[in-house]
A and B are shown apart, each in its own frame.
Chain A
Amino acid sequence: MSQGAAVGTLFVVEPGLLTTVQDLGRVGYQRVGVPPSGPMDRAAFMVANRLVGNPAGAAALECTIKGPRLEVRQAATIGVAGAPMGFTINGQEAPSWTALRVRPGDVLAFQMASAGCRAYLAVAGGIDVPLALGSRATYLRGRLGGLGGRALQKGDALPVGKASPEAVREDRRVPPALRPAYPAERECRVILGPQDDRFTSEGIRAFLEGPYDVTPQADRMGYRLKGPEITHARGHDIVSDGIPLGGIQVPGEGQPIVLLVDRQTTGGYTKIATVISVDVGAIGQTRPGHRIRFRRVTLEEAHAALAAEAAWLARAVQR
C-alpha cells in the first residue's frame, strides 16, 4: 500500500501529550514477539480515514488526552474523529466527524479531551512515513515504525502522501445521530476464557459484577484495572502462551490487566476472558478514573456485533 512520494507536510508546533503515527497495524510478526500496534480505537480511526477518502489502512495520527498543534504547509483535506478534544483551526472551533479543506499556514490545534481519551486526525493521502516490517504503525517500546519509532516531537515535519481525486471533490461527514458517545463508564462485552477454568465461580462472578476503575497504569500496552478481587481456583501461572487483543490477565493479586495493541505477544498469567473486538476501542477511550464493567456474551453474539459494526462503518460516513 505505497502512498507514493510525499507531496505535502504537516509541521509539528506542539506535539501534544502522546501523538503517534498509526495504521491498521503490523501483521505477521507476533510470531517473533512484535505486537501489531495500530489504533487503540479502530472504528474511530477508520472513520477518520473514510472522511478524507483514504484507504482503511492509510496512516493517520492518534492523539492522546491532549492533541498536538500542527501547521499546514500544503493545501490538504483533513478529518478528525474519536474523543472530543477541542479541535480548532486558526483558533476557531472546527467540526470533527467532517472532512475539511485546509490551506498553507492554517494551524490545527487540539485542547484536552472533554470526554474519552483518543482522537484521530487523518489527512487525505495519509501520513507517508516509511514502512517498517510492512506497517507505518508506531510501536514505542520497540522503537519501530511511525516517525523513527517514537511519538511526535516539536519541530517534526510529517510527510503527507498523494490524495485520491475523490478526497478533494467530495464533502463527507458523519451525521450527529451516528456519532458515538464517550461516557466515563463503559460496558465491555467479553468472551470467557481461554483459562476461565482456573478461577473460582466467586472469582468469575466478581469479575462480571465489577465495576473496575482504570488506574494510572494504562497505556497502549495494557490497562491495569482495580476493583473486586478475582480469586483463582488453582494457581495464577500457566505454561506461557499467546495473548490475544483484549486478553484479560489476572496475576496473583487478583486484579485484571486488559492487554491492548502494543501488548507482549506471550505471557504466563491466567487469562479469565477476552474483550470482544468491537469493544476494545471502548477501553482505548477510557483513562485513569474512568470505570469499566464487563458483560459476558457468546462467540456468535460477538461475531454478530462485528458484522453490525462493519455495517455502521459503511453507512456512518455520508456524502
Chain B
Amino acid sequence: MSTGLYPAPRLLPAGDAAVSVELGDEISREVNARALTLERLLLDARLPGLVDTVPTFRALLVHYDPLVLPWAALRARLLDLAGRLADAPPPPGRRVELPCAYGGAHGPDLEEVARRLDLTPAAVVDLHAGAEHYVYFVGFTPGLPYMAGQPARLTIPRLDRPRTRTPAGSVGIGGTQTSIYSVESPGGFWVLGRTPLRLYDPAAAEPILLRAGDHVRFRPIDPAEFDALAEKVAAGTYRPRIEEET
C-alpha cells in the first residue's frame, strides 16, 4: 500500500450527528483526492439531512441530522460512494497566484530560516516561490489553507516558542507545509512573507479566497507593490488571478 489508502474506508462515529470517514493513514495527494472526491459525490447526492462536510488530509467529517437522515441510511450511502472513488475523477482545482512580499517587516523569519537551512535568503525565496503549493484543505480559522508541495530543502521544525500574534496574510512554513494566517492569531510557523490579499474577508461577497484542491503559486513583490495592492484590496478593486482547471 504505497499510496497510504485503506483497502476499505473506516467509519468512525464523531458523536451522534457526525461521522469521520477515514480513507488512509498518511498525508498524500492520492488520499486527499479521495476525500475531496467523496465530498463532491456526497454533496451532489443532495441528501436531505446532510448538514455540513469537512474534508481534511485523509478524512471527510460528515455532519448530519439523524432525525432526518438515519445513521443506517447514511452509513450505507457512504460505503456505496466510497466504493466508487477509484473510478470517479477528483473535483477540478484552480490555479491561484498570490503576491507575497518576502523578508523585511513582512517576513521577519526569512533570515533565520535561511541561516538554519544553510541557504541565502534569496535562495529560500526562489525555492518557495518556485514551487506549486497544493491546498489539502481549508480549516481551523476561516479561509486558512493547509498546503504542501514546497521542496524538501525547505523542511524545518516549527517554532519552539509560538508567536502570540501574527498578522493576517502572513505566509509561514513549518514541517513540510506552508500556511497563511487568515486572521490575526498566534502561531508556530516561520513567517517568510506576507500577502496583501485577504484569505478571509467577512464583508466581501465571496469571503473565502482559497479552496481545497487549489494550486497556489507565490509571486514575489516588493514592499511598495505590497502597499499598492493592499490599497486596491481595501478599496475592493483588486481581482485575484485565478484560473479554473478544466
Contacts and interface: CB of A to CB of B under 8 A. Distances in A.
Contact of B139 (A28, A132, A240, A303): A240
B161 to A, nearest CB: 16
A205 interface: no
A191 B146 CA distance: 29
A33 B140 contact: yes
A36 interface: yes
Nearest to A266: B139
A239 interface: yes
B141 A28 contact: no
B150 interface: no
B53 A194 contact: no
Main secondary structure of the interface of A (DSSP, over half): mixed
Interface footprint category on A: 35 or more
B230 interface: no
A161 B21 CA distance: 41
A302 B183 contact: no
A284 to B, nearest CB: 15
B61 A244 contact: yes
A294 to B, nearest CB: 13
Interface stretch (B10-18, B76-84, B189-197): B10-18
Given A34-B142, A266-B139, A277 B17 contact: yes
Q: Which of B67, B138, B140, B142 has the most CB of A within 10 A?
A: B142
A135 interface: no
B212 interface: yes
A247 B15 CA distance: 7
B71 A303 contact: yes
B140 A267 contact: yes
Q: Which of A33, A141, A244, A277 has the most CB of B within 10 A?
A: A33
B20 A265 contact: no
Nearest to A133: B207
A132 B202 contact: yes
B15 A241 contact: no
A54 B34 CA distance: 42
Given A239-B27, A242-B139, A27 B18 contact: no
Interface string B145-163: 0100000000000000000
Contact of A33 (B51, B57, B138): B138
Interface stretch (A57-65, A142-150, A178-186, A228-236): A142-150
A90 B138 CA distance: 49
A45 B59 CA distance: 33
Given A32-B208, A33-B141, A303-B71, A245 B18 contact: yes
Given A33-B138, A244-B63, A299-B71, A277 B27 contact: no
A142 B202 contact: yes
B189 to A, nearest CB: 14
Interface in A153-211: 190-191, 193-194
B15 A33 contact: no
A122 interface: no
A275 B12 CA distance: 15
B143 interface: yes
Given A31-B53, A33-B143, A266-B139, A194 B13 contact: yes
Contacts of B26: 239
A307 interface: yes
Interface string B56-71: 1111110100110011
Contact of B67 (A36, A190, A247, A310): A310
B17 A241 contact: no
A28 B61 CA distance: 12
A245 B142 CA distance: 17
Given A239-B57, A244-B63, A266-B54, A31 B17 contact: no
A162 B17 CA distance: 33
Given A143-B202, A242-B139, A265-B140, A31 B16 contact: no
10 contacts: A31-B55, A32-B139, A33-B200, A36-B52, A190-B15, A191-B16, A241-B59, A242-B20, A276-B15, A306-B66
Smallest CB-CB A-B distances: 8 pairs = A242-B61, A274-B15, A242-B54, A266-B139, A302-B16, A244-B18, A194-B12, A244-B14
